[in-house]
Amino acid sequence: MRKILAALAACAACATSGAAFAQTATQPMGASPRVERALGQLQTRFSNANTTHDGKLTREQASAGMPMVAKHFDQIDTQKNGYVTLPQIEAFMREHAAQR
């Protein structure tokens, strides 16, 4: 899980346009600062990779902006829609963290 979080957040420092999206996403109440920071970085990465700004990340967008999401795309896209959403990515990460 740490590797997935680290990879998803690796380029978050260079992102600047995800602030509005990050403000609207829900974060767990009482989450540790580390978890909140990781979620914020994930939200920023997602926002930057989502070039169509529709809240849906295609496989191509994931490949270009979130390689770890692209690597696990089929596992995250459980409904086989051809896109993933931020809540789906977060659920995938929570599920894999619980398995550790």
What was the pLDDT predicted at 33? 87
What was the pLDDT predicted at 35? 81
Which residue ranges of the chain lie beneath pLDDT 70?
Answer: 1-31
Q: Measured over all CA atoms, what is the biggest interatomic distance in the chain, rounded to whole angstroms?
A: 35
Say what percent of the chain tops pLDDT 70.
68
The residue extents of the domains of the chain are: 2-98
> What is the reported pTM?
0.68
| CATH fold of 2-98 | Recoverin; domain 1 (1.10.238)
In tens, the pLDDT along 31-58 reads: 688 888 888 999 999 999 999 999 999 9
- How far apart are alpha carbons 86 and 100 in whole angstroms? 22
The beta strands (E) that lie in the chain are given as: 57-58, 83-84
